[in-house]
A and B are shown apart, each in its own frame.
Chain A
Amino acid sequence: MAQTLAETIKEITRKHLEENNGIILGQCLSAVGWVNNTVPDTKNIIELPMTDIAGAGIAAGLAITGRRPIFVIRFQDFMFLNSSTLVNYTAKAKEIFNISVPVFIRALATEGNGTGPVHSAVLHSIFMHMPGFKVCSPMTPGEYTQVWDEFMKSDGPIYVSEHRKSFNQTDEIPDIISPDADITIYGISTARFSAIQAIETLKQEGIKCNFVNILWLKPLDLTEKLTMPLMKSGIGLVVDTDFEIAGASQSIAYELMKKTNKYVEALGAEDRSVGTAQRYENGTPSPEKIITKIKELIEIRKNSNCG
C-alpha cells in the first residue's frame, strides 16, 4: 500500500534522527499516539517540559549548533506563545548576524469535535507577514518530501503548516486545467480538499473550474503554472483554511491580481472565534460555501464583463 503522509513524516524524521544527528523536540511527543504517529521511537527525541516560551528558544539554540531541529507544536494556536524567539531571533539571524538558524517548525492543526477556541486554528498567515520565514502547507507525501529537501538546504526557519485532516493522504493532488474554464481556484491547506469536491459538483452543473495547488505560501513563486490558467479563465478565487482577513488567501489573491490584471477574490475562515459546540465551528471552508462563492464570482463577471 502507498505511504500515507503521516508515515512519510515519520520516515523523514527517523532518518534525520538516526543518520544526521538531527533532533526533535516538543511536548508529550512520546505519549498518546506519538503525535498522530508521525514521531518514530528512536534516539534524539527531547521531551520538553510544558514550556511554551523557552521551548522555541531551545530549538533555535540547537539550530545554531547545526542540529537542524524539528520543533513540534501540537496546535498552531500555541504559536502565539512560542513565536517570539522564532520571529525575533530565528527568522532574523541570517540577515542580522549572518548565522544560520534552520528550525523545521511543525505546526499542527485540527478542527471539528469541539476542539474549541484555542485548539482549532491554522495560522500560517501571520508567519508570512514576518520577514525571514519560508512558509508552506504540504498535504501530500510528495509535497512533504519536497519541503524537507528544501529545509535541508535552508539557512533559516520553515513554518510547516500541517493539518491532521491530511495525515492519511496517500495520493498527490494534481492541478486541473482546461482551456475553457470559467474560473481558476487556488487551494491552500485543507481547503484544497473541499475545493476539489466543490469543483466536482460544479462540473455536473456545467461550470468548469481550473484548480491550482499552492504548496509554498512564501516565497510565493508567481510562475506561469499559477498565472496562465487565470489569464485564460479571467477570474480567480484563492481558498484557504486560515482566516481570510489579512490572511494568505487575501494576500495571494492580491499578488495574482497585480501580476495578471485579472479579478481574484479570497475565501478563508470567518472573522470570529471558534466555540466548542458544533454550531460555532469555523474551520475549512465547506464545498457548499466554496460553490456559493464561485457562483457569485461568475455572476459578477457576467454583469461587469471583466476578464
Chain B
Amino acid sequence: MEYYNTQANDTKLEIFKKMCHIRAFEKQVKKSYDTHDIKCPVYLSIGQEATSATISTIFKPDLIFTQHRGHAYYLSFGGNKDKIIDELLGRDSGCNKGKGGSPGIQDLNIGMIGHHGLIGENVPLAVGATLGDSTKKTLCVFGDGAAEEDYVFTAMAFAQTHKLPILFICEDNDLSILTKKQVRRNWELTDALKAIGMPTANIPDDPELITPYIKEFINKLPAFINCKTCRHLWHVGTGQDGTPQTDRLEEYKQKLLEIGYELEQLQEIEKQKLTEAEVLWRKHLQRQ
C-alpha cells in the first residue's frame, strides 16, 4: 500500500517517542534478564512497538486486555513503570507482588487487566467485560497464534452480534512460538470476520497506515485490525535468530526524515529514552 500522510506532526513525534521508549525499556529488560536479575520468563515486544504506540495516541479505552506479550501496551498507555519493573524482578512491590510475571502485568489505573497465560482467553474475557458495561470502550490485543484458538472467533462474533464497543488488534508476527502461519493455516481472520460484517483491515504495522483505520473504526466498534509485524527476539527470553527481516522503528524514523524531521532531533529522542530507561532500571536494581 502506498505511504500517505495521515497524522498531525506532533502526533507523529509522539508515536516515535513512545516507540523509542518501549524499545529502550525492553532493552533494559533484556539486559537484566541476561544478568539473571530477572529470573522469570519474559515476552518482549522489541520490533513490535508500533501498534501500541500508535493506538494509544488515538484511542483511549476504558479497559485493556492484552495477552502474554504486553509490555508495550502497558508502557504506551501509561502503566506504572516502577511496578512493572518490580514485577519482573519478582518483588512484593511489583504490580502483582511478583506472582504474575511478564505475561501478567496489570495496572487497573489504566484499565489494564493482567493475562494469566492461556492464549486467547483474554478475548472472551474482554467481550464479557464490555458486555457488563457497554458504556465503556475496550481494547483487546492478541497474536496470530491466538487467532486460531477456538473461542477467539466465537467471542468476537458475539461482540459483533451484540455490537460491543471493542477494538480488536492482532499483532501478527507470523509466528506461534517458532511455527510460521503457513504451516498452521491457510486463512485470514480478517476474511472470516468480514463475512459476519465486522469492519476489518489487514495491514503492516506502519503507524501511518494504522492511524486512519483506528480513527475510522473507533466510531463503528466492534472492529478488527490485523497488524503485520516483526518480532526481533525469541518467543520467550532474549535470544535472537539472525538479523530481523524488518525494523519498523528504523523505517518509521526514515520516513520522518523524508518528510523533513531533523536527524539530530530524532537521535536526541532515542538517546533520551535510552538514558531514562537506564536510570530507572538502575534505581530499581540498586534497591535489591
Contacts and interface: CB of A to CB of B under 8 A. Distances in A.
B176 A28 contact: yes
Interface string A106-117: 000000011111
Contacts of B99: 116-117, 273, 275-277, 280
Contacts of A31: 177-179
Interface of B: 39-41, 90-91, 96-104, 116-120, 145-151, 176-179, 183-185, 235
Interface string A50-63: 11111000000000
B118 A276 contact: no
A116 B117 contact: yes
A53 B119 CA distance: 12
Given A32-B178, A77-B118, A118-B118, A276 B150 contact: no
B148 A50 contact: yes
Contacts of A32: 177-178, 235
A78 interface: yes
A246 to B, nearest CB: 22
Contacts of B176: 27-28, 50
Contact of A278 (B90, B96, B97): B90
A47 B179 contact: yes
Contact of B41 (A50, A115, A118): A115
A119 B186 CA distance: 29
A38 to B, nearest CB: 16
Given A28-B179, A50-B147, A275-B97, 6 more contacts: A32-B178, A32-B235, A50-B176, A113-B40, A116-B100, A278-B90
A20 B21 CA distance: 55
A276 B104 contact: yes
Contact of A54 (B97, B119, B150): B150
Nearest to B41: A114
Contact of B98 (A30, A52, A273, A275): A275
Contacts of B118: 77-78, 81, 118
Interface in A172-186: none
A49 interface: yes
B117 A118 contact: yes
Nearest to B181: A49
Contacts of B149: 50-53
A119 B118 CA distance: 9
Interface in A51-87: 51-54, 77-78, 81
Contacts of B91: 277
Contacts of A275: 96-100
**8 nearest A-B pairs in the assembled complex, by CB-CB distance:** A276-B101, A275-B99, A114-B40, A277-B98, A277-B90, A49-B148, A31-B178, A53-B150
Q: Is the interface of B mostly helix, strand, loop or mixed?
A: loop
Nearest to A80: B118
A276 B116 contact: no
A51 B150 contact: yes
A51 B179 contact: no
A32 B235 CA distance: 10
Nearest to B38: A114
A78 B117 CA distance: 10
Nearest to B183: A47
B184 A280 contact: no
Contacts of A278: 39, 90
7 contacts: A27-B179, A28-B179, A52-B149, A53-B151, A113-B41, A118-B118, A276-B40
Contacts of A115: 41
Contact of A116 (B104, B184, B235): B104
Contacts of A50: 119-120, 145-149, 176, 184
Contacts of B145: 50
Nearest to A81: B118
A28 B143 CA distance: 15
Interface string A5-35: 0000000000000000000000110111000
A28 B235 CA distance: 12
Contacts of A78: 118
A47 B185 CA distance: 10
A28 B120 contact: no
A52 B150 contact: yes
Given A53-B150, A276-B99, A28 B178 contact: yes
Interface in A225-276: 273, 275-276
A245 to B, nearest CB: 20
Contacts of A81: 118
Contacts of A273: 99
Contacts of B102: 276
Contacts of B185: 49
A124 B177 CA distance: 26
Nearest to B234: A32
A30 B120 CA distance: 22
Contacts of A30: 179, 183
Contacts of A279: 90, 98
Contacts of A276: 40, 90, 98-102, 104
Contacts of B41: 113-116
A51 B152 CA distance: 10
Nearest to B115: A118
A207 to B, nearest CB: 35
Interface in A36-55: 47-54
A279 B118 CA distance: 22
A83 to B, nearest CB: 13
